[in-house]
Amino acid sequence: MKRAATIFSLALILTACTSNEENDNTLVISDTFFRTQVTDVFINAREHMGRTIQFEGLFRTVDWFPTPHDSFVVHRYIMGCCTRDPIGFEVFLPDGLAPFADQTWVEVIGVLEESHGLPAVRAASIIEKAEQGLVFVWR
């Protein structure tokens, strides 16, 4: 009985720490493990390229990348060295979709690809969400 409880507890922990994958192999980035899951995508980028991803965060126009067009990221904040640091992905908007205002909470569904040597998301859809998730994430 004790062994069964231990195995069950371990299974629950591992399920919580994994990518929340559904049968369609979509990587759903959760509020609870946002930082952990995004970091995993960056560390194991080759394994995730071409995979569908779903996540929420703050929309932002940035000039971090040397491109002739506007660049966009969807991110949340983590505590970095001394201040809040953004963590998330560069996002390519679907054709014809106008950018959102900065700091708009959105949900992104798209495919992971490489941009500037880093994982990025080619969005199939981005929608504004009325209810905001965790802006500051710890895990």
The per-residue pLDDT for range 80-126, each reduced to its tens digit, is 777 889 999 999 999 889 899 999 999 999 999 999 899 999 999 99
Range(s) of the domain holding residue 92: 20-128
Please give the residue that has the higher pLDDT: either 53 or 66: 53
Domain count, the chain: 1
Q: Give me 12's structure tokens.
A: 């629950």
Please say whether the beta carbons of 64 and 71 come within 8 A: yes
* 48: in domain: yes
Predicted structure pTM score: 0.79
Q: Give me 31's structure tokens.
A: 């509020």
- Predicted confidence at residue 124, as pLDDT, reads 96
* 139: in domain: no
- Predicted confidence at residue 45, as pLDDT, reads 96
* 11: in domain: no
